[in-house]
């Protein structure tokens, strides 16, 4: 991870990341996980998200049919596990394609201007 | 049983959520908070601080509740805001002058109040009409915003098109709404003065002297009419020219000289003792003379400065265009 001058770069970096939180969630949740666990996983992967953003987002994605959820009461503390639905998996494909396209397009722009 | 900070936080977040999601969100949120706190304790924090900081990080519970409920965190969305401001301005510019003229006409013709009461009532009416317009417009837009489907919240009500461009432009700074307002106000004042000079009858307050020479009467009514003519001329030309400003200043200087002279001669105002007798007022003739004299000067200075500023702006606008 590279760090940009915090004051000037933080806003733009944050803006860029905001759009990728959904994709990061959907990709990670190909394996079932619960809110706090997902937050930890994302954070370890260098993708820190605030709880107050992530937890409502999971609910929203579930409402949109991209995630399914199930309470797991086997352990001492009941946890609500989320995982991607078939529609969510299709959304991952769409977003991944878009991500690659953008990456290619941005790189191509960069190369054209440096030449 | 004591209530913990976490209890209060979870309750605050979920109390307004619908019955089918509220308890579920509460159960999940509580589990999440508990686990975060445990994680912090494991990292060496004392339990109390851990709980406080976990809740602090989650932030304002009302904000979180809005996130869970899909509710907007603003009164009027950014998408609607420009339309809201446009409508509000339009309503205020058109309705407030009409309200002022309306209350003046209604009260002066019935004439059962003192001058001071009349002025106060006019100001209060304009204020309350303005507050009402602002309140109801805001409420309407807020309701529209909240009843629209979530998917449309980032869109304006009507798609903007170039026909909606304001009639003002760098070379055309005079708006139709403001012109209508100014003309209406000037004509209403001219009518009011003409009606006073014509004799107001038994039931109304005769303030201006109906026995003033017809020439002076016409001149005074004409000066108010001239205001309307100047406003229309500015609109037709599209901007305030130096010539229009000069005419305005000259007319105001003329009006001040004429009115102060007639006031000083005691010819402008009717004999207020008769009004006092008939309507049970207690108006002091010299006080009314002073108030009207002061008002004449203030209004004339105001109008002159306004005309000069507008002409200067119009001139700069033409250079820019």
Test B28 with A56 for CB contact under 8 angstroms.
no
Closest chain A residue to the Cα of B60, Cα to Cα: A52
Nearest by CB to residue B28, choosing from A35, A50, A60, is: A35
Q: Which residue on chain B is closest to A61 by alpha carbon?
A: B68
B179 and B321 belong to one structural domain: yes
The alpha-carbon radius of gyration of chain A (Å, integer) is: 17
Task: Determine, for residues B28 and A51 on separate chains, whether the beta-carbon distance falls below 8 Å.
Answer: no
Arithmetic mean of pLDDT, A41-55? 89
Which pair of tokens denotes residue B233? 């001329």
Contact B29 A55 (CB under 8 A): yes
Checking if the pLDDT of B321 tops 50, the result is no
* B131 to chain A, closest Cα gap in Å: 38
Residue B27 forms contact with A (CB below 8 Å): yes
Q: How confident is the model at residue A115 (pLDDT cuts 50, 70, 90)?
A: low
Are B201 and B101 in the same domain?
Answer: no
What region, left, alpha or beta, does residue B291 occupy, with left being phi > 0 and alpha being psi -120 to 50 degrees?
alpha
Mean pLDDT value across chain A: 87
pLDDT tens, position by position, B226-261? 989 998 888 888 888 888 899 999 999 999 999 999
Residue B44 DSSP label: T
Closest CA to B80 of B128, B39, B163, B138: B138
Tell which wins on pLDDT, B37 or B105: B37
Is B267 inside any structural domain?
yes
pLDDT tens for B309-320 read: 888 877 765 555
Q: Are residues B180 and B290 in the same domain?
A: yes
Residues B142 and B201 in one domain: no
- The CA–CA distances, whole Å, from B286 to B283, B293, B296 equal 9, 10, 15
User: How many angstroms separate the Cα of B197 from the Cα of each of B37, B186, B187, B219, B268?
Assistant: 84, 17, 15, 12, 10
Domains of chain A: 6-114 (1.10.10.10)
Q: Which domain holds residue B20?
A: 5-69
Are residue B214 and residue B278 in the same domain, yes or no?
A: yes
- Measure CB to CB from residue A55 to each of B21, B24, B32 and give the nearest one: B32
Cβ-defined contact of B36 to A36 (cutoff 8 Å): yes
Q: Note whether A80 contacts B25, CB cutoff 8 Å.
A: no
* pLDDT tens digit sequence for B123-168: 899 999 999 999 999 999 999 888 888 777 778 888 888 887 776 6
Q: What is the mean pLDDT of chain B?
A: 85
Q: How many domains does chain B have?
A: 3
Q: A36 contacts in B (CB within 8 Å)?
A: 31-32, 35-36, 39
The answer on pLDDT for B191 being more than 70 is: yes
In a domain, B164, yes or no: no
Judge whether B168 lies within some domain. no
How many residues are recorded in chain B? 321
Residues B189 and B312 both lie in one domain: yes
Give tens-digit pLDDT for A9-22: 778 888 888 888 99
Contacts of A56 in chain B (CB under 8 A): 64, 67-68
Q: What is the rounded distance in angstroms from the CA atom of residue B94 to the CA atom of residue B89?
A: 9
User: B63 vs A79: CB contact, 8 Å cut-off?
Assistant: no
Q: Is A59 on the interface with B (CB under 8 A)?
A: yes
More confident residue, B202 or A98: A98
Greater confidence (B271 vs A8) lies with B271
The reply to whether B63 touches chain A by the CB within 8 Å rule is yes
pLDDT the model gives residue B6:
92
Of the candidates B320, B162, B163, B310, which has an alpha carbon nearest to the alpha carbon of residue B237? B310
Beta-carbon separation of B57 and A50 below 8 A: yes
Q: Does the pLDDT value for residue A24 go beyond 70?
A: yes
Same domain, B108 and B150: yes
Nearest Cβ partner of B59 from A35, A52, A60? A52
Q: Is residue B124 part of a domain?
A: yes
pLDDT, tens digit (0-9, with 9 covering 90-100), for B253-289: 999 999 999 988 888 888 877 777 777 777 778 778 8
**Does B82 have pLDDT greater than 50?**
yes
- Cα distance between residue B317 and residue B320, in whole Å: 5
Q: Does a structural domain hold residue B167?
A: no
B170 part of a folded domain: no
Choose one of B126, B159, B192: the last residue of a domain.
Answer: B159
Interface touch B32/A60, C-beta < 8 Å: no
Q: Which of B69, B95, B121 is the last residue of a domain?
A: B69
Q: Are residues B281 and B220 part of one domain?
A: yes
CB-CB under 8 Å, B29 with A52: no
Same domain? For B96 and B210 the reply is no
Q: Say if B105 is an interface residue toward chain A (CB within 8 Å).
A: no
- Do B261 and B307 lie in a common domain? yes
> A55–B28: do the CB atoms touch at under 8 Å?
yes
Q: Are residues B207 and B113 in the same domain?
A: no
Is B98 inside a domain boundary? Answer: yes
Taking the CA of residue A33 and the nearest CA in chain B, the distance in Å comes to 12
Q: Do B298 and B199 belong together in one domain?
A: yes
Chain B: give the shortest CA distance to residue A113, in Å: 34
Shortest distance between the Cα of B34 and any Cα of chain A, in A, equals 10
Residue B74, token pair as written in the block: 């603003």
Average pLDDT (B199-205) is 71
The pLDDT assigned to B101 comes to 79
Position B165 in a domain? no
Report chain B residues whose CB lies below 8 A from the CB of A79.
31
Residue A3 pLDDT more than 80? no
Mean pLDDT across the stretch B29-42?
92
């Amino acid at each position: 991870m590279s760090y940009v001058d915090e004051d000037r770069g933080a806003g733009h970096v944050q803006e860029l990341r905001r759009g990728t939180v959904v994709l990061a969630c959907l990709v990670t949740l190909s394996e079932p996980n619960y809110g706090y666990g997902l937050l930890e996983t994302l954070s370890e992967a260098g993708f820190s998200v605030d709880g107050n953003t992530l937890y409502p987002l999971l609910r929203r994605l579930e409402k949109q049919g991209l995630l399914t959820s199930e309470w797991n009461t086997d352990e001492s503390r009941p946890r609500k596990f989320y995982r991607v639905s078939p529609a969510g998996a299709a959304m991952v494909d769409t977003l991944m394609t878009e991500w690659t396209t953008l990456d290619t397009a941005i790189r191509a722009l960069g190369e054209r201007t440096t030449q | 049983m004591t209530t913990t900070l976490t209890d209060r936080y979870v309750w605050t977040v979920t109390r307004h959520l619908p019955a089918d999601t509220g308890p579920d969100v509460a159960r999940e949120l509580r589990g999440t908070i508990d686990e975060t706190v445990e994680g912090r304790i494991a990292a060496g924090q004392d339990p109390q601080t851990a709980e406080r900081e976990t809740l602090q990080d989650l932030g304002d519970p009302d904000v979180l509740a809005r996130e869970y409920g899909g509710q907007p965190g603003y009164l009027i969305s950014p998408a609607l805001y420009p339309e809201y401001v446009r409508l509000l301005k339009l309503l205020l510019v058109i309705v407030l002058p009409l309200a002022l003229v309306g209350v003046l006409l209604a009260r002066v013709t019935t004439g059962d109040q003192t001058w001071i009461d009349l002025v106060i009532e006019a100001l209060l009416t304009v204020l309350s009409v303005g507050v009402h317009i602002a309140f109801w417009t805001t409420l309407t837009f807020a309701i529209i915003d909240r009843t629209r489907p979530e998917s449309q919240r980032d869109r304006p009500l009507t798609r903007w098109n170039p026909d909606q461009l304001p009639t003002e432009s760098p070379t055309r700074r005079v708006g139709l709404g403001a012109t209508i307002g100014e003309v209406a106000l000037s004509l209403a004042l001219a009518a009011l003065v003409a009606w006073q000079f014509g004799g107001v009858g038994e039931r109304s307050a005769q303030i201006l002297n109906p026995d003033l020479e017809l020439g002076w009467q016409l001149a005074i009514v004409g000066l108010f009419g001239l205001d309307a003519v100047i406003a229309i001329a500015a609109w037709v030309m599209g901007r305030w020219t130096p010539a229009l400003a000069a005419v305005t200043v000259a007319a105001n200087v003329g009006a001040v000289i004429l009115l102060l002279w007639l006031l000083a001669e005691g010819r402008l105002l009717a004999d207020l003792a008769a009004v006092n007798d008939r309507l049970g007022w207690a108006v002091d003739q010299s006080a009314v003379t002073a108030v009207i004299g002061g008002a004449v000067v203030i209004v004339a200075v105001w109008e002159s400065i306004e005309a000069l500023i507008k002409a200067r702006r119009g001139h700069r606008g033409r250079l820019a265009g």
